[in-house]
Amino acid sequence: MALALGTTAGRSLKGRVQVPGDKSISHRSLLFGAIAEGTTTIEGLLPAEDPLSTAACLRAMGVKVSAIETGQVVQVEGVGLDGFQEPESVLDCGNSGTTMRLMLGLLAGRTGRHFVMTGDDSLRRRPMKRVGGPLAEMGACIAGRSGGNLAPLAIAGQQLSGQVIRTPVASAQVKSAILLAALTAQGSTTVIEPVQSRDHSERMLRAFGADLTVGGPGNTEVVVTPGRSLTGQNVIVPGDISSAAFWLVAGAITPGADLTVENVGLNPSRTGILDVLEQMGARIEVLNQRDVAGEPVGDLRVTHGPLNAFEIGADLIPRLVDEIPVLSVAACYATGISRVSGAEELRVKETDRLAVMARQLGAMGARIEEFADGMAIHGETPLKGAEVDSETDHRVAMSLAVAAQIATGSTTLHRPEAAAVSYPNFWDDLERLQA
């Protein structure tokens, strides 16, 4: 499929938009609801392909999850910490790394049961040993291609034992998998990260009743002590700041733009994009700040204005890891050279996002130097419409749409349907805000 984004010269962006539910919180609400006792209700769950993959895997193991549709409250009937049935067939995680990695942690300790997980072409290329390695230290038995690194993965459930685990990468997926495995291990488990990654699992597991403490320098140490069962909760999912990021950048770079993104999750472990936009001098206001079900939330208003180049280093990456593609678009319109370093993790996302953004924005005339762990993006480089490709990556698809919004001339985007992984209504919202 290809989408003609046409020429939008002279068309600005105005209005209010509600981005869909946070993807990270959506996965966790389904998974934690499944292993709790009783019913969990989820308001605002992201009705997109990734959470649907999680729900399908849970249903295949005997968990009742109601239909996932826009605007519907979703109900999960928990089966308890050890209640998953052995699935009759392979569990398909689709494009979703979060589904596969968090489920590895949940399934590794299901004694006497056998599970096989796979995913699409992209997911079957992504490294899983980063989760399998620490779980093996706890006694897990996981096999896969490439020495257990690549799916399909086979898991023979074992009784696990608690450990002290230092993760080499700051990854919430790795951390969360270990925390989930720790819930039924013998003895307590400590996870120590190099830098704190997003903490949705910690917040939500505690709300469900887990014995979990967070401490250490910069909240990098999490301790789980098993023994408590989880209790179903009413979860309210805020809008996804990683989806809001497309509108924030589009608003900041489009002359005349004035956009308000409503109900955005503002968890400090996710707001690196706001820090960088502030560093660039973007005009962003945070309005109506409040707390909703344990997560900070607010509305974000953005208007167009001049931008300066940014510097993003390793310490900031975990707080904006998914926003680098769209920030690279903003950098083309800033004054000076923007630099990203310590971002080698981007190479193992849904695509190699450093290479893909350099290639696709390059086709539109961007001047980007690519390095092993980052890139340098030359500003004051107005983009030109071109033929571009999402390369099947949802965040690339939407970043290129933002680029096309102010490029001169028309752009044709191949494989735009990738956006449905995290933001099914993105194209409708774009059309409405351009009107």
Between 109 and 325, name the residue whose CB sits nearer to ligand S3P. Answer: 325
Residue 53 CB, nearest approach to ligand S3P (Å)? 13
Residue 390 CB, nearest approach to ligand S3P (Å)? 16
Label residues 268-284 b or e (16+ Cβ within 10 Å = b): ebbbbbbebbebbebbb
Contact between residue 106 and residue 180 where contact means Cβ atoms under 8 Å apart: yes
Q: Does residue 24 belong to the site contacting ligand S3P (CB under 6 A)? A: yes
* Binding-site member from 30, 128, 177, 321 for ligand S3P (CB under 6 A): 321
Helix (H) or strand (E) holding 406: helix 394-406
Contact between residue 244 and residue 264 where contact means Cβ atoms under 8 Å apart: yes
Q: Does residue 96 belong to the site contacting ligand S3P (CB under 6 A)? A: no
- Please compute, for residue 200, the number of CA atoms within 13 A of its CA located in the half-sphere on the CB side: 29
Tokens 């698809």: give the residue.
Answer: 397
The tokens describing 340, both together, are 């990203």
Active site residue 322: yes
Q: Give the number of residues in contact with ligand S3P, rule: CB under 6 A.
A: 12
Considering only CA atoms, which of 316, 378, 308, 368 is closest in space to residue 341? Answer: 316
* Binding-site member from 299, 322, 391, 429 for ligand S3P (CB under 6 A): 322
Between 100 and 108, name the residue whose CB sits nearer to ligand S3P. Answer: 100
Between 169 and 257, name the residue whose CB sits nearer to ligand S3P. Answer: 169
Per annotation, catalytic residue among 92, 199, 299, 322: 322
Stretch that binds ligand S3P, among 118-126, 165-173, 256-264, 374-382 (CB under 6 A): 165-173
Considering only CA atoms, which of 344, 336, 276 is closest in space to residue 312? Answer: 276
Between 27 and 301, name the residue whose CB sits nearer to ligand S3P. Answer: 27
Between 198 and 304, name the residue whose CB sits nearer to ligand S3P. Answer: 198
Chain residues 35-94 in contact with ligand S3P, contact rule CB under 6 A = none
Considering only CA atoms, which of 227, 217, 183, 229 is closest in space to residue 202? Answer: 183
* Binding-site member from 40, 122, 171, 271 for ligand S3P (CB under 6 A): 171
CA distance 149 to 155: 13
Those residues whose C-beta lies under 8 Å from the C-beta of residue 428, and which sit 6 or more positions away, are none
| Binding-residue pattern over the window 345 to 364 for ligand S3P, x denoting contact by CB under 6 A | x-------------------
* Binding-site member from 163, 189, 197, 360 for ligand S3P (CB under 6 A): 197
* Binding-site member from 54, 158, 173, 392 for ligand S3P (CB under 6 A): 173
CA 331 vs CA 219, 327, 430: distances in Å: 31, 6, 21
Q: Does residue 99 belong to the site contacting ligand S3P (CB under 6 A)? A: no
| Residue whose Cβ sits closest to ligand S3P | 24
Q: How many CB atoms lie within 10 A of CB 156?
A: 16
Stretch that binds ligand S3P, among 59-67, 170-178, 233-241, 249-257 (CB under 6 A): 170-178
| Binding-residue pattern over the window 116 to 155 for ligand S3P, x denoting contact by CB under 6 A | ----------------------------------------
CA distance 273 to 327: 8
Give the angle 96-155-102 at the CA atoms, nearest 5°: 35
**Which residues bind to ligand S3P, rule: CB under 6 A?**
24, 27, 98, 171-173, 176, 197-198, 321-322, 345
* Residue positions annotated with a catalytic role: 322
